[in-house]
Amino acid sequence: MTGQTYNLKRYRKWVLPVLALAISVEGAALVCGANIRGLNRGLIQGFSFLGHMFPPDWSAFPEMLKPAVDTIIIAVLGTFFGTIISLGFGLAAASNISPRWLRRLTRGFIRIERALPEIIILLFLVAAFGLGPFGGVISLTIGCIGMLGKLFADAIEEIDPVSIEAIEALGASKIQVIVFGVLQPIIPSIISFALFRFELNIRLSVVLGAVGAGGIGLELYRSFSLLDYNKGLTCLIITLALVIITERFSEFLRSKVKLAGVLR
């Protein structure tokens, strides 16, 4: 008997948090209009809808190749330019090589950029410049700053300060110290992070495409809007292929970078 009371008492401290959690879940569900009945109905509808999507529209494959290539190119260019810009931000945001005011300013800017989803950036670019791949590339480029800027800055801050001093001590100019003392050692990290971001950017490129940047994302969205679900499945398959191939490619390259310390 005593054992049982002890067991129960032990869980008493859980009661309040669990209750709070339950209430907030219920409240949130109310706000969202979530309900089990709707979910059941929706699932049935969803599955029947999925059935309508098969078989994929095989004839549409050839014409989907160009949009797919566009999506890839948008992601590649976005990652390429984004990495270069983020290097600048990373250097400016690293405490061991950047004056304090610059570091705080840059870190603040990076933090703000991180809070901005790329889609929102694209909305503004579309409002200013119109639809098309331009907005896609620019928003991916800017989007890189939040993640890569922080990653680069952290990687730079991890460099042993004496290593940087060693280059300073032999009379190198500031730029030489940065290139040979800071950038050279982190090149494998740069490539690794850039490849990682590239995986993300491919997915983003698809989504941004739907919002107006073009490419396979736009085709996907369009087919769904026009109720051409078979074509939609075709686009979906191509998108999946893109994402999976990119991931394998990125993983492969990243493993090579780790082994070789790479690139001369």
> Contacts with another protein in 146-205 (CB under 8 A)?
160, 162-163, 165-173, 175-176, 179-181, 184-185, 187-188, 203
Which residues in the 244-263 window bind another protein by CB under 8 A?
244, 247, 261
Stretch 89-118 residues interacting with another protein (CB under 8 A): 111-112, 114-117
Please tell me the distance from the alpha carbon of residue 116 to that of residue 96, in angstroms, as a whole number: 27
Instruction: Report the residue number, 9 or 264, with the smaller CB distance to another protein.
Output: 264
Instruction: Rank residues 193 and 221 by Cβ distance to another protein and give the closer one.
Output: 221
| 119-138: contacts with another protein (CB under 8 A) | 119-120, 123-124, 127-129, 132-134, 137-138
CB of 217 to another protein, least distance (A): 7
- Residue 85 near residue 146, CB atoms below 8 Å: no
Q: Which of residues 217-246 bind another protein (CB under 8 A)?
A: 217, 220-221, 224, 232, 236, 239-240, 243-244
Q: Where do the H-state alpha helices sit in the chain? A: 2-32, 36-53, 61-92, 100-115, 118-129, 133-144, 150-157, 161-169, 174-176, 184-208, 216-225, 229-260
Q: By C-beta, is 137 or 194 nearer to another protein?
A: 137
The helix/strand/coil state of 194 is helix
Is residue 34 a contact point for another protein (CB under 8 A)? yes
**Is the preceding omega at residue 67 within 30 degrees of 0, hence cis?**
no
Beta carbon nearer to another protein, 102 or 119:
119
State the DSSP string of 93-132. T-TTTS-HHHHHHHHHHHHHHHHS-HHHHHHHHHHHH-SS
C-beta of 163 vs 255, nearer to another protein? 163
Contacts of 214 (CB under 8 A, 6+ apart): 67, 70, 74, 131, 132, 133, 136
Tell me whether residue 102 or residue 243 sits nearer to another protein (CB atom).
243
Q: According to the binding rule CB under 8 A, does residue 77 interact with another protein?
A: yes
CA 264 distance to own-chain centroid: 28
Please give the Cα distance from 47 to 249 (Å, whole number). Answer: 33
Binding to another protein, residues 4-23 (CB under 8 A): 21
Which among 123, 145, 146, 147 is positioned nearest to 135, based on CA atoms? 123
Site for another protein in 54-73 (CB under 8 A): 70, 73
Mark residues 37-56: x for contact with another protein by CB under 8 A, - for none: -xx-xxx-xx--xx------
